[in-house]
A and B are shown apart, each in its own frame.
Chain A
């Protein structure tokens, strides 16, 4: 098949058919201020060598994650990814394939999806998991939409401990669907009383564990509150490795679980592509978004895999579909599956323990610094500190000193009076020397 791009005649014809004057009119829904109304400020042409030189120069200005002591988290975590993960996902059968549509084609791809689902369900202690979503934030927004379909109620209560990007995504989806999202103020100390807010109009409560500020939350009581009022508990996580130590959401009574799987098998990737994990109780199976793969037998009784319950999906059910996403983050999900398989149950627990131990060591060191207060009573591998000064400025100065020393809370929650708060994460990649360098850099910043 030849692929020919459109010519101006084709474009004119298409515009006439849909009765639109020009292409710009198709972008009317995008706010004026967000549209590019001029040419990009780029030189007309440069040679390949010139471009390489220019871009390497620009790249050299970055402080790369792998080149310095690194304590940045806030929803994206730098973990070690074994070389064999990348090697295996680069097999062309995996690397270039798109999410399957024909129910039984590409048994290999289907089997990897099935194994992935099994792992996600096991990790979260839920009955069923789908083939993955775009990322943790869109998975969370889909969970809220699913709760609305199940309960036929329109008010979602969103914890002040949910990652701000997730909150924004939930707000955007809910706004478009005509649902209400009651977003609570930032909850630094995990003291909000979500249970008291649940009423007969509430479709779900959305809560993250460990939360954005690093606190661990026992969701069991909240789950009981939700159940008593006929609302659903949507449990969210941004750090999948935490599930190696922390009580899984399913064991605490969550109805729907949405989380980010980047931590396992996937690098930081500048914020994406990531892999959204999505799981639910079996009784809500038909209201789940996304793709589902099931295990079956063929005509000869041999084990096989098949896309199942596709009538929930957009390509069959059109506007009545459970979601307008009918794809999955296939390659990132595969990387997750391979890494988790390599780790195994014991390996994941050990990895989680190392993360926690490193974070405990970091917290201990930081707490000893004059002008630094560790705010968390509990945490996994990330916690919040309060420093005597502006955390955003401190982060910049530490970067100049060659340490990527966490994320200022104000970067994600500006104008909330949280300027002195800094999120610091310590995973298995940090050494003792890294942590000492962080403490030294922060001390240096606080002195000036």
Chain B
């Protein structure tokens, strides 16, 4: 049963076993507007918690996707190169960015669960 965790910078990580799928939240995609370009990291790159993993460009801004926890990149969503708009259409599904192999599952404890993130959104909006 996968569990989803959230960061204050609006990334999510959906963890199943040792792997986590990382993307941006629906709130984040709405704030960015139409995503026109996504730059993804090379497979095998090891990233420590908070490091920049990907770059998103929308029609009005450029932003970074940081990894919520440390890990090694095992897969990237190469479909985004052709159709970056999927990030807007389905951020928590087909619009994922990368999969990492977690190096320290204990780091997840510092993140928000879905309820906490929903509360957090109320405080920022």
List A residues at the B interface (Cβ < 8 Å): 286, 311, 316-317, 320
Quick check: B37 and A286 within 8 Å, CB to CB?
yes
Residues of B within 8 A of A316 (CB): 60-62
Q: Report if B58 contacts A (CB, 8 A).
A: yes
Closest to B60 in A: A316
**Chain B contact residue count (CB 8 A cutoff):** 10
Interface centre among A286, A311, A317 (most CB of B within 10 A): A311
Residues of A within 8 A of B60 (CB): 316
A316 to B60, CA, bound (A): 8
Q: Which 7 A-B pairs have the closest CB atoms?
A: A311-B57, A317-B62, A311-B62, A316-B62, A316-B61, A320-B62, A286-B37
A317 to B52, CA, bound (A): 15
Residues of A within 8 A of B39 (CB): 286
Closest to A317 in B: B62
Min CB distance, B125 to chain A, in Å? Answer: 23
Residues of A within 8 A of B61 (CB): 311, 316
Q: Which of B61-98 contact A (CB under 8 A)?
A: 61-62, 64
Residues of A within 8 A of B62 (CB): 311, 316-317, 320
Residues of A within 8 A of B57 (CB): 311
Closest to A320 in B: B62
Q: List 14 A-B contacts (CB under 8 A).
A: A286-B39, A311-B36, A311-B37, A311-B57, A311-B58, A311-B61, A311-B62, A316-B60, A316-B61, A316-B62, A317-B62, A320-B55, A320-B62, A320-B64
A45 to B57, CA, bound (A): 56
Min CB distance, B47 to chain A, in Å? Answer: 16
A311 to B61, CA, bound (A): 6
Residues of B within 8 A of A320 (CB): 55, 62, 64
Closest to B39 in A: A286
Residues of B within 8 A of A286 (CB): 37, 39
Closest to A152 in B: B42
Residues of A within 8 A of B64 (CB): 320
